[in-house]
């Protein structure tokens, strides 16, 4: 297949049209994608996201847009082939163009319009990609949360600024070797990268820290579990739930999350939600058992098996 690739600035109207169509496919029937489209076009305009428009005989037929994603490679946000050009070969050409321009793709969006699921899977498998999905889960009406045990191990308390370094170390231990670690990786040094993630969570990168929902479980002088909650326009996002691997599977996750939710329930007008990777069964089961329900997703996306050695 022969396409010419062009700068996105050469045809902003088509870039907007293709971006809108691609995000609508990805978000599913009826979803409002306007703000998402505007955000992405803004990122293309300011250079945070790079895009290439494919033309055949001068006619625009496809778009690929990606952000440089740190050491693993690029994160493709838009992968779109239009109309009759929506073929396996064209999608492969778009992926290869993104790979060439970015020194490798780590993540790509799924549900490629015009392809049957088995065609898409064969294409992405051939390119070395495996499937993954993320779901949003929201807390339904809180009925009964387990009470804090009177004489449990350690105690739950609110997060204070001095916890930052210890939270970063706990975060690193809890996510080490897990698929989720790769999703948010920006730097090659794991300790530094975890420190950055925690610093950003505590200092407003994703929304103001929610004092009620952000707690740690401290036992024998160390933080062994945490919940970090931030205020988003659409509710309180539980952005981190983690238990020290040495102590997982003993009820500490249930305990620290219940404590955060009891505290959040004191301000009941806010919706509480989180995002989880399908396949993280301990987490999904814990959330379901506390009254969370899937409200968005699972997404049907792709990760590069060569750079991410662990399945979701
Ligand atoms: C997810 C996590 C917070 C759960 O904490 P935990 O202390 O291990 O979980 P608990 O012991 O409190 O168990 C709570 C429930 O989780 C589920 N669960 C825990 N371990 C499980 C396992 N190995 N397999 C399947 N389900 C499991 C069970 O439903 C359990 O309920 P039960 O006690 O009635 O059986 C913890 O495993 C963790 O830190 N994982 C790594 C980081 C992470 O993935 N965080 C979530 C990101 S969204």
Rg (CA), the chain: 21
Please state whether 153 falls in left (phi above 0), alpha (psi between -120 and 50) or beta.
beta
Residue nearest to atom 7 of ligand 1 (CA): 253
Q: What would the mean pLDDT of 11-33 be, rounded to a whole number?
A: 92
Strand pairing of 272-277 and 235-243? Answer: parallel
Q: Which of 249, 252, 258 to mutate to test the pocket of ligand 1 (most atoms within 8 A of CB)?
A: 249
Q: Whose CA is nearest to atom 26 of ligand 1?
A: 282
Q: Please name the residue whose Cα sits nearest to atom 41 of ligand 1.
A: 174
**First vs last Cα of the chain: how many Å apart?**
33
Mutation pick for ligand 1 pocket among 245, 255, 286 (CB with most ligand atoms within 8 Å): 286
Q: Ligand 1 test: best mutation among 253, 258, 259, 273, most atoms within 8 Å of CB?
A: 253
Give 230 Cα–ligand 1 centroid separation in angstroms.
21
How confident is the prediction for the chain on average, in pLDDT? 95
Q: Whose CA is nearest to atom 36 of ligand 1?
A: 243
List pocket residues of ligand 1, CB cut-off 6 Å. Answer: 174-175, 180, 241-243, 248-254, 276, 280-283, 285-286, 289
Q: Ligand 1 centre from 107 Cα, in Å?
A: 26
- How far is ligand 1, taken at its centre, from the CA of residue 233, in Å? 28
- Tell which atom from ligand 1 comes closest to the C-alpha of 283: 1
Provide the pLDDT for residue 267.
81
Residues 121-126: what's their mean pLDDT? 98
Condensed to tens digits (0 to 9), the pLDDT of residues 62-82 reads: 999 999 988 999 999 999 999
Give distance in angstroms: CA of 254 to centre of ligand 1: 7
Tens of pLDDT, residues 222-279: 999 999 999 999 999 999 999 999 999 999 999 999 999 999 998 878 899 999 999 9
Confidence band, pLDDT 50/70/90 cuts, at residue 1: low
What's this model's pTM, rounded to 2 decimal places? 0.94
Query: Atom of ligand 1 at shortest distance to CA of 254?
Result: 12
pLDDT at 129 over 70: yes
Ligand 1 atom closest to 285 (CA): 29
SS3 state at 186? coil
At residue 111, the pLDDT reads 93
Average pLDDT over residues 74-96: 97
Residue 277 alpha carbon, nearest atom of ligand 1: 48
Check whether 142 has a pLDDT greater than 70.
Answer: no
Long-range CB contacts for residues 256-259, cutoff 8 Å, separation at least 24: 256/156, 256/215, 256/216, 256/217, 256/225, 256/226, 256/227, 257/227, 257/286, 257/290, 258/145, 258/146, 258/148, 258/290, 259/148, 259/156, 259/215, 259/217, 259/227
Q: What is the pLDDT of residue 26?
A: 87
The whole-number average pLDDT for the span 12-18 is 98
Summarised one tens digit per residue, pLDDT across range 165-174 is 999 999 999 9
Overall average pLDDT of the 7-26 stretch: 96
pLDDT score of 245: 98
pLDDT for residue 143 is more than 70? no
The pLDDT tens digits of the residues spanning 183-218 come to: 999 999 999 999 999 999 999 999 999 999 999 999
The answer to whether 20 touches 14, Cβ cutoff 8 Å, is no
Pairing of strands 215-219, 155-158: antiparallel
Instruction: Tell me how far the alpha carbon of residue 252 lies from the centroid of ligand 1, in angstroms.
Output: 8
What is the average per-residue pLDDT within 291-301?
94
């Amino acid at each position: 297949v022969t396409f010419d690739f062009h700068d996105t600035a050469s045809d902003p109207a088509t870039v907007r049209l293709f971006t809108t169509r691609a995000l609508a496919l990805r978000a599913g029937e009826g979803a409002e994608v306007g703000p998402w489209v505007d955000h992405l076009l803004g990122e293309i305009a300011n250079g945070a996201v790079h895009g290439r428009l494919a033309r055949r005989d001068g006619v625009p037929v496809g778009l690929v847009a990606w952000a440089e994603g740190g050491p693993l490679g690029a994160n493709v946000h838009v992968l779109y082939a239009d109309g009759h050009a929506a073929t396996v070969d064209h999608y492969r050409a778009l992926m290869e163009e993104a790979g060439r321009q970015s020194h490798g793709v780590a993540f790509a969006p799924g549900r490629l319009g015009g392809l049957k699921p088995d065609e898409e899977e064969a294409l992405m498998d051939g390119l070395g990609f495996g499937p993954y999905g993320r779901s949003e889960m929201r807390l339904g009406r809180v009925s009964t949360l387990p009470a804090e045990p009177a004489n449990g191990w350690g105690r739950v308390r609110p997060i204070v600024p001095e916890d930052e370094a210890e939270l970063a170390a706990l975060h690193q231990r809890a996510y080490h070797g897990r698929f989720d670690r790769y999703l948010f990786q920006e730097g090659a040094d794991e300790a530094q990268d975890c420190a950055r993630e925690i610093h950003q969570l505590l200092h407003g990168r994703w929304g103001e820290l929610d004092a009620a929902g952000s707690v740690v479980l401290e036992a024998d002088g160390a933080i062994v579990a945490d919940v970090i909650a931030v205020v988003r326009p659409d509710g309180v996002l539980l952005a981190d739930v983690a238990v020290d691997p040495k102590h997982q599977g003993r009820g500490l996750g249930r305990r620290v999350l219940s404590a955060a939710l009891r505290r959040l329930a004191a301000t009941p007008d806010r919706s509480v939600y989180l995002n989880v990777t399908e396949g993280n069964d301990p987490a999904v089961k814990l959330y379901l058992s506390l009254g969370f329900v899937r409200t968005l997703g699972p997404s049907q996306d792709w990760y590069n098996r060569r750079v991410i050695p662990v399945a979701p």
